[in-house]
Amino acid sequence: MQREQTTINMRKHFTALVHARMQQNTTIWVITGDLGYGLWDKVRTDFPERFVNTGAAEQSMIGIAVGLALQGKIPLVYSITPFLLYRPFETIRNYLAHERIPVKLFGSGRDKEYVSEGFSHWAEEDRAVLQLFPSIRSFWPESVAELNSEFDELITNKEPWYVNLKR
């Protein structure tokens, strides 16, 4: 039970960090794929013009983020890890890995943290996938403190990032 509470806090803390930075920086946008209900309510309410829910259209989700980044915005894309990496693989490969467009990817769930939803929701291969793309920096924080220590750097630098958040 303690592990579950810790990981829930990481996601909640992440959304609180995003909200605080969105108050300070009007170039930060959040793009999500029809999930995170409850987590994103405050962001959606306070910044409706900078919150995009693409629904189950993962390639479009990444494509929108690429377009925003090319316009000088800071797109933060949030989804369950396999939906974030596997479904839009080609778009990530072409624009983030090869063109180095500075999109920030945030995946929710590690390994089999979504075990009850079935293997389509498991993220057992994300580290291996990211090894294919050395130009995308990656980070698997183990605690809220680790997330805090890197958050401002990873959202403001001009490189693509992948961050895996514990469920």
CATH number of the domain encompassing residue 138: 3.40.50.970
Q: From residue 6, how far is each of 9, 62, 66, 71, 100 by CA, in Å?
A: 5, 29, 32, 36, 33
Domain that holds residue 105: 2-165
* Percentage above 90 pLDDT, the chain: 66
Average pLDDT, the chain: 87
What is the tens place of the pLDDT at every residue in 2-19?
444 444 488 889 999 999
The model's pTM is: 0.88
Given a cut of 70, the residues of the chain with pLDDT beneath it are 1-8, 36, 109-122, 124, 167
Total number of domains in the chain: 1
